[in-house]
A and B are shown apart, each in its own frame.
Chain A
Amino acid sequence: MVLYSRTRFDAAFAALSDATRRGVLEQLGRADASITDLADKFHMTLTGMKKHVGVLEQAGLVTTAKVGRVRTCRLGLHRLDEEAAWIERYRQLWDARFDELDKVVEELKRKEKVDGRKKRE
């Protein structure tokens, strides 16, 4: 699984390492858009946005199609499922730990309160 996914993971995570590109994905999740729309929305030049879309396209996260003179972008078929799963396993581990840490923190807070009260008495 790791070997099979590695190249795509590289492309996908590299594509996601940029805030604008993450924004573009969010935007396309709501509705398809032309590169001009996206450039406007992100206050960018057409050329700049084309580059970003190119990176997303290479990672398989976005597909584009030319309709007349307008290039429309939409989310690609590859929907980050594997990347999400990769991160989710790690998140679960830490989430479980941190839930336990919550309990320890609560207990320490309670003790601190009791100790504080004792000192004042």
Chain B
Amino acid sequence: MKNRTTVERKSERELVVTRTFNGPARIVFEAWTRPELFRQWWLPRSMGMSLRSCEMDVRVGGKYRLEFEPDGMAFFGTYLEVTPHSRLVWTNEEGGEGGPVTTVTFEEKHGQTLLVMHELYSSKEALDAAGTGAADATVETFAQLDELLLTLGASVGRS
């Protein structure tokens, strides 16, 4: 059965996404920290977009950088905490100073992993704008790209 993704706005500056995965924490953690795995799921196939590059230096003070194809847009930041199989904290620096800090925790129970992703924004305005902004932009851009692919007839063979 499919697990449910929940999103809650916990306060003016916090957004929390929760999901359970059918696998041990070491595996789910690996999927978040090994670039070759991360890039397989972070841009859902159905959205029809791809990453040009995905670099992740997963250690305290290490950097990550995701670059999109074809427009070259990039997400990047620094890892603040890395606790194998249980906790990751990183900054999001693409929006300049005051970008949100993301904390992901992995909690294993009976072979399943409860994942909690917490985003703390510097201000209410930042969450109002960036929260929807990011989701809107991504969903919208991908939808547009999907449409474009359809008109180009490139959807053949896609599920």
Contact = CB atoms under 8 A, between A and B. Distances in A.
Interface of B: 2-3, 5-12, 15, 17, 19, 21-24, 27-28, 30-31, 37, 40-47, 117, 124, 128-129, 131-132, 134-136, 138-139
Nearest to B15: A90
Contacts of B12: 10, 13-14, 17
18 contacts: A2-B132, A6-B128, A14-B12, A86-B131, A89-B135, A90-B7, A90-B132, A91-B5, A91-B17, A94-B7, A97-B41, A98-B3, A98-B5, A101-B31, A104-B37, A105-B31, A108-B23, A108-B27
B27 A105 contact: yes
A103 B46 CA distance: 13
A62 B12 CA distance: 21
Nearest to B31: A104
A102 B37 CA distance: 12
A31 B71 CA distance: 52
Interface of A: 2, 6, 9-10, 13-14, 16-17, 86-87, 89-106, 108-109, 112
Which 8 interchain pairs have the tightest Cβ spacing? Answer: A100-B41, A96-B44, A105-B23, A90-B135, A101-B41, A95-B5, A91-B7, A89-B135
B10 to A, nearest CB: 7
Contacts of B24: 109
Given A100-B41, A109-B23, A91 B11 contact: no
Contacts of B131: 86, 90
Contacts of A101: 21, 28, 31, 41
Given A100-B44, A108-B31, A94 B21 contact: no
B27 A98 contact: no
Contact of B42 (A17, A97, A103): A97
